Amino acid sequence: MKIVVVSDTHRQLDEIKSVLLKEKDADVFLHCGDSQLEHYQLYPFMSVQGNCDRYSSFPEVRIITTEYGNIVIHHGHLRYKYNLKYLKEHKAKICLFGHTHVKTDINLEGILFLNPGSLTCPRDGTKGSYLVINLTENNVDYEFKYL
């Protein structure tokens, strides 16, 4: 299963469309919040609500079941809610988040924490990044990509 993950795009639809064109063969498209767009504008991306999406109808958190295990997606600004205890209760193997605008990959107590960075407003000296995850039942491979 190929999953494409973006975050913190802040109304910049052209960059999202560029990712869609580059990653046409993906099975799932995820947005970790702060798109400041509507569902129909983000399609086929599934999103969660970021701190700048206050008036959206996106959920705060999504849990996706895959052959590898559960993926929990949240924006990251409500860390007190979606902490290790929460992730373990929901049998998360991967936690996707945004908010910091900085690429992150950390394995903590058996949970892989991944932040794609920001596609449009990076704070890590890059020109904008996104994440491609390839899952099988027993393996996860991921790569940060740039526009």
Residue 52 has pLDDT above 80, yes or no: yes
Residue 116 has pLDDT above 90, yes or no: yes
Q: pTM of the predicted model, to two decimals?
A: 0.95
Residue 55 has pLDDT above 90, yes or no: no
Q: Residues 6 or more apart from 128 whose CB is under 8 A from it?
A: 15, 117, 118, 119, 120, 121, 122, 146, 147
3-state secondary structure of 102: coil
Residue 80 has pLDDT above 80, yes or no: no
Class of domain 2-146: alpha beta
Residue 3 has pLDDT above 90, yes or no: yes
